């Protein structure tokens, strides 16, 4: 790792004119193949909503194991495709989909109130803390290609734009996964450890974020005509290889990622007059790209 | 102030059942008239875009005096209504409007490259710091009904959803105000002190945030057909009183606001399992409401 890291940094310094520091986007574009890790087909969830709106999600079984298992069961049963639609779009907050009636029974094998999705014990393997403070009192950093927050004894995914979570009712309900939402606004970090996050969007968030806002309380659509049907829900592992979307996430343990974090927190590219010297975890979500054809 | 503040807190504690802490929304709903300040007509900017999309903005002359003066000159000249349209919608970032050709001359009296809009000296009157850390290395808090960031020697408005800023080219350009944008995603705080913010939205952000994302670089629309014309731009002070929108912002020096901040950072209402013990400045923007009819 150190080998290609140093070579990458040297190449980057040579490539950039001495007077012009590379922007975060330039660092991403220059990162070598080794800086990226493929998203496993087993973690891919492909949701096709009416209106040709495709959301490609990477599931996070390491962070919410039983909720993710529930999602897989609901997909394979065909439950989402039969029953789910977008029912809520609240501005600067969430797009949410589920069974509009709230009454359709769930398939066998869906766990009721799983208690392991709010946080996981200890630190995740390879956790690297950021040197920046967190307003929510956590330590924040990265591990295994994910942004992570921790209090030292447990860790969890932070609520940032593009994260996918599990709608629920009042505690001790933790949600089953039958109702999911996408964060579309300023990261509602107050939900950390209060709602199970099951993944993140790899592609397609903008099509959902541009839906009309619901005019009911909490952004719920007031008429069933406004619902956006979930037409198809598939797991990458179940799709023919040729149809399967392929994405890569930047490794969070490499030199390119470290250079990118540093450039995001200390913007030295010509547009900027004064770098901040810090950044919050929702502005430091690992870069994602479609896999290059081979 | 202390008098009504204590009475308000006592009333709130009595109103809420002992076992159930009030939510932030309940605190806002219960706040007395004295907890609110009217937005002065002189600071109102009413922008009507095609498709009945109205954006009501409160200008911030104390934070970007010359840029705000430029905006007023451009409104009164009729320049925006003749020339401006939404030309860019970048997901999780900004909606931007201006002259699509970039070539229409500006009216006389518009200052070129004003240098007083990035930050203001010292601390703003009545600044109250929050006890929470800021990931961007500033001290953050509130003054005069606004969220504010400071490094102790200067202060500025933080880039949060709903803030309105001044598009610009490369430094030393600071923008004139002819090109404006609305923040619609996770607060891009790296822009603090690098772009002049001229105000905040009081109403209507969701209609712009739901516009289709541009497919060109940086979210620019690729076809002029997609532009959303700015049909009318008016200052509140120039509107007949009956037509003038009336809004109130919660005072940031009162007990209701302090209770609201505390409840936002430490959610004790029944939905929450574990309060965060903190919040970031973009999740602590002062509550806004339409003025009650009298």
- Same-domain status, B14 and B134: no
β partners of residue A181: A96, A165
Give the mean pLDDT of chain A: 94
B37 close contact with A: CB closer than 8 A:
no
Q: Measured between beta carbons, which residues in chain B are less than 8 angstroms from residue A91? A: 205-206, 209-210
CATH of the domain at A164: 2.40.100.10
Is A136–B278 a contact, with Cβ atoms under 8 angstroms apart?
yes
- Same-domain status, A241 and A285: no
- Same-domain status, B228 and B257: no
- Same-domain status, A75 and A192: yes
What pLDDT is stored for residue B18 in this prediction? 46
**Which residue range forms the structural domain that includes residue A89?**
42-245
- Same-domain status, B21 and B108: no
Return the structure tokens found at B72.
């007023």
- How many residues belong to chain A? 294
- Same-domain status, B79 and B25: no
- Same-domain status, B120 and B158: yes
CA dist A33 → A9, A24, A56, A260, B277 (Å): 14, 17, 22, 15, 41
- Same-domain status, B191 and B270: no
Q: Using CB atoms, pick whichever of A92, A192, A212 lies closest to residue B276.
A: A192
Q: Positive or negative, the Cα torsion across A229, A208, A55, B282?
A: negative
The answer to whether residues B60 and B198 touch, using CB atoms and an 8 Å cutoff, is yes
pLDDT over 90 percentage in chain A = 92
Hey, which bits of A3-145 come out as E strands?
36-38, 44-49, 53-59, 85-90, 94-98, 120-121, 128-129, 139-143
Reading chain B (294 residues) residue by residue, the pLDDT tens digits are 333 444 554 455 445 444 589 999 999 999 999 999 999 999 999 999 999 999 999 999 999 999 999 999 999 999 999 999 999 999 999 999 999 999 999 999 999 999 999 999 999 999 999 999 999 999 999 999 999 999 999 999 999 999 999 999 999 999 999 999 999 999 999 999 999 999 999 999 999 999 999 999 999 999 999 999 999 999 999 999 999 999 999 999 999 999 999 999 999 999 999 999 999 999 999 999 999 865
CA gap B117, A243 in Å, rounded: 51
The answer to whether residues B70 and B194 touch, using CB atoms and an 8 Å cutoff, is no
DSSP string, A164-214: EEE---STT----SSSEEEE-SS--GGGTTTS-EEEEEEE-HHHHHTSPPP
The answer to whether residues A141 and A148 touch, using CB atoms and an 8 Å cutoff, is yes
CB-neighbour burial class of residue A82 (10 A; exposed 0-12, middle 13-18, buried 19+): exposed
Return the structure tokens found at B188.
């891009």
What pLDDT is stored for residue B288 in this prediction? 98
User: Domain tally for chain A?
Assistant: 2
The answer to whether residues A54 and A47 touch, using CB atoms and an 8 Å cutoff, is yes
- Same-domain status, A83 and A121: yes
SS3 B48: strand
CA gap A247, A202 in Å, rounded: 7
Whether a cis peptide bond, with omega within 30° of 0, leads into B257 is no
N-term to C-term CA, chain B: 23
Q: Closest by alpha carbon to B56, among B249, B234, B251?
A: B234
Q: Measured between beta carbons, which residues in chain A are less than 8 angstroms from residue B275? A: 190
- Same-domain status, B200 and B271: no
Please say if the pLDDT value at position A117 is more than 50. yes
Q: How do residues B177-197 score in pLDDT, each as one tens digit?
A: 999 999 999 999 999 999 999
B228 close contact with A: CB closer than 8 A:
no
Q: How do residues A131-170 score in pLDDT, each as one tens digit?
A: 999 999 999 999 999 999 999 999 999 999 999 999 999 9
- Same-domain status, A256 and A210: no
Q: Which residue has the tokens 């003054």?
A: B143
Mean per-residue pLDDT, A198-208:
98
β partners of residue A266: none
Closest residue in B to A161 (Cα) is B186
Return the structure tokens found at A62.
């390491």
Please say if the pLDDT value at position A244 is more than 90. yes
DSSP string, B204-217: -HHHHHTSPPP-SG
- Same-domain status, A259 and A279: yes
């Amino acid at each position: 790792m150190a080998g290609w890291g140093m070579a990458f940094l040297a190449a980057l310094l040579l490539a950039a004119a001495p007077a012009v520091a590379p922007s975060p986007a330039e660092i991403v574009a220059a990162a070598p193949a080794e800086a990226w890790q493929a998203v496993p087909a087993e973690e891919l969830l492909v949701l096709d909503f009416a209106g040709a709106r495709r959301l490609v999600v990477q599931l996070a079984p390491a962070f919410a194991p039983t909720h993710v298992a529930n999602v897989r069961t609901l997909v394979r049963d065909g439950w989402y495709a039969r029953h789910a639609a977008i029912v809520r779009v609240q501005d600067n907050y969430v797009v949410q989909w589920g069974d509009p009636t709230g009454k359709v029974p769930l398939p066998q094998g869906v766990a009721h109130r799983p208690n392991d999705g709010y946080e996981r014990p200890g630190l995740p393997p390879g956790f690297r803390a950021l040197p920046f403070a967190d307003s929510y009192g956590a330590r924040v950093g990265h591990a295994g290609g994910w942004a992570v927050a921790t209090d030292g004894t447990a860790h969890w995914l932070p609520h940032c734009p593009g994260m996918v979570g599990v709608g629920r009712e009042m505690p001790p309900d933790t949600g089953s996964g039958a109702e999911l939402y996408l964060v579309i606004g300023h990261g509602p970090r107050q939900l950390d450890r209060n709602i199970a996050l099951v993944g993140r969007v790899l592609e397609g968030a903008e099509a959902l974020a541009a839906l009309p806002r619901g005019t009911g309380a909490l952004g719920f659509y007031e008429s069933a005509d406004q619902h956006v049907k979930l037409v198809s829900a598939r797991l990458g592992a179940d799709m023919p290889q040729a149809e399967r979307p392929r994405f890569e996430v930047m490794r969070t343990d490499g030199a390119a990622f470290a250079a990118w974090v540093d450039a995001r927190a200390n913007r030295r590219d010509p547009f900027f007059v004064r770098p901040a010297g810090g950044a919050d975890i929702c502005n430091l979500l690992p870069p994602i790209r479609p896999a290059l054809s081979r």
